[in-house]
Structure 1
Amino acid sequence: MILNLEPLYSSIVENIKERVSKLPKAPKLAAVTCQPEPSTVSYLRSQEKQAKRLGIEFAVYEAPKASDLKLLLPRLSADNSVSGIFLTHPLPTDISELEAVSLISPEKDVEGRNPINLGDILYDNPTFPPCTAEAVLRIIKYLTNPSGKKISVIGRSVTVGKPLAMLLLQKGIDATVTVCHSRTKDIAEITKSSDIVVVAIGRAKALGKDYFTPGSTVIDVGINVENEEIYGDVDPSVAEICDLTPVPGGVGRITTLVLMEHTVKAAEMARRY
């Protein structure tokens, strides 16, 4: 069955709008792009539309070279009119991701990629977890109580797999987590023994029905384009035996809202201090 996440989506939207209405001015989200590809430009347009619907100001800044980025990110971090900052890909070749995200103030790192924000997760004190990881957690908590559940995470990226595993292990969440990756042997044996499987590997339709036990829940994080069609990392036929999140319209849609929610939270925090 394809899961209906519309009630979760609507509840987050209403929460954001209510919080924005209580702020003295609209939060501002700064999108920083370096060498935007057509897909990045399209993504930014969709983000801008969503921000405006929620009452959030949205501005795009370009930094074509690493030297530009090294000047712009600290400047935006110090700009009191900016609530949150997010950085698009690709980056210039002469700056690493770690170096780039470390230039963003943790208080404005609404994507949750700064090492300080990532480290806070280990202490069960996340302020801004990576948006996709938090979106998956929100979906799981919406669907069920994760306490004691066996959850396998397929993928070990810095923005999804690793932080999601840590979020699920938090006291109060209390899931039992297994992380699988490209060197894991017998992945199907692990996924079939799981109550919930999260797939985030970036390959279209990579996992089929033979990976899952009927009745389990599958969270598909993937967004892959093939012949101008969008597919997840999980074959759509898995919905015949499992509860499967939709692609598109599933994790990605909630992720965008989490980014906007983080921007509002950053504005609230700045107001307090």
Structure 2
Amino acid sequence: MFINIEPLYSSMVENIKERVSKLSKPPKLVAVTCQPDSSTLAYLRSQEKQAKRFGIDFAVYEAPKAMDLKILLPKLSADGSVNGIFLTHPLPSDISEYEAVSLISPDKDIEGRHPINLGNILYDKPVFPPCTAEAVLRIINYLTNPSGKKIAVIGRSVTVGKPLAMLLLQKGVDATVTVCHSRTKDIAEITKNSDIVVVAIGKAKMFGKDYFKPGTIVIDVGINVEGDEIVGDVDPSVSEICELTPVPGGVGRITTLVLMEHTVKAAEMSLK
């Protein structure tokens, strides 16, 4: 069956609204974009809508060249009125993601991509984990106690696979984690012996029912465009034997709320 995340979603919405209401002024979220295409502009409009829903101020800055980013990101990081900064893709070809995100203050890196924020996870002291990785952890904790469970993470990206594995290994979470990737042999053997499988590889409907045992919790992180349809990395037919998050309407919805939560948290931290 498809997993109903609505109760989790609703509780997070109420939590964000309550925390914003206790602040002396609205938090401010800033998006930095580089030559945005139509999909990026649509994403920014969606984020602006969500921010306004919670009473969060939202602004967009465009930095078309690497030099513009190198000037703008430190400037925004030093701006006391800005609480959170997120950076859209793609970046200019002459600056790496590592270099770009390192220009953002860790205290305003609400996406959790700064090396300091990623490093904090290793010490079981996450402040701003990557939003999608945290969203997956929230969903897992909402569905079950992950302690002692076998969890397979398919994908090793810096924003999902790697940080998620570390979050699941934290003391207090205590999952047993296997990370699979394009060079992993016999992935089906691993996934069939897992209680929970998280798929984040960016390949439409690649994982079918033959990869899972009945009753497995399957978290589909993938967002792929197939014709006029948005589909995940997992074939929807898997919902016939497993508990599967829907695409769209699953991990992505929680990820957006985590981004807003992080903005509020950054505002709360700035007051301290």
What is the TM-score of this pair, normalised by structure 2? 1.00
CA displacement, residues 190-213 of structure 1 (integer Å, 9 cap, x when unaligned): 000000000000000010000000
Q: State the SS of the aligned residue for 2:67.
A: helix
Q: CA deviation at 1:75?
A: 0.3
Match for residue 208 of structure 1? 208
**d(CA) in 2 for partners of 1:226, 1:81:** 41
Q: State the SS of the aligned residue for 2:219.
A: strand
Match for residue 153 of structure 1? 153
**d(CA) in 1 for partners of 2:54, 2:42:** 19
Match for residue 29 of structure 2? 29
Name the Cα RMSD after superposition. Answer: 0.3
Question: Where does structure 2 lack aligned partners over 5 or more consecutive residues?
Answer: none
Q: State the SS of the aligned residue for 2:107.
A: helix
**d(CA) in 2 for partners of 1:251, 1:35:** 27
- Specify the code of the residue in structure 2 equivalent to 1:46: S
Superposition map of 1:127-206 within 5 A:
127-206=127-206
Match for residue 39 of structure 2? 39
CA displacement, residues 145-200 of structure 1 (integer Å, 9 cap, x when unaligned): 00000000000000000000000000000000000000000000000000000000
Q: State the SS of the aligned residue for 1:225.
A: strand
CA displacement, residues 42-69 of structure 1 (integer Å, 9 cap, x when unaligned): 0000000011001111100000000000
CA displacement, residues 62-99 of structure 1 (integer Å, 9 cap, x when unaligned): 00000000000000000000000000001000000000
Match for residue 247 of structure 1? 247
Question: Where does structure 1 lack aligned partners over 5 or more consecutive residues?
Answer: none
**d(CA) in 2 for partners of 1:158, 1:173:** 20
- Specify the code of the residue in structure 2 equivalent to 1:67: M
- Specify the code of the residue in structure 2 equivalent to 1:66: A
What is the TM-score of this pair, normalised by structure 1? 0.99
Q: CA deviation at 1:265?
A: 0.1
**d(CA) in 2 for partners of 1:121, 1:35:** 32
Q: CA deviation at 1:109?
A: 0.1
Match for residue 266 of structure 1? 266
- Specify the code of the residue in structure 2 equivalent to 1:189: E
Match for residue 68 of structure 2? 68
Q: State the SS of the aligned residue for 1:23.
A: coil
Q: State the SS of the aligned residue for 1:43.
A: helix
**d(CA) in 1 for partners of 2:24, 2:219:** 38
- Specify the code of the residue in structure 2 equivalent to 1:266: A
Superposition map of 1:61-140 within 5 A:
61-140=61-140
**d(CA) in 2 for partners of 1:110, 1:143:** 25
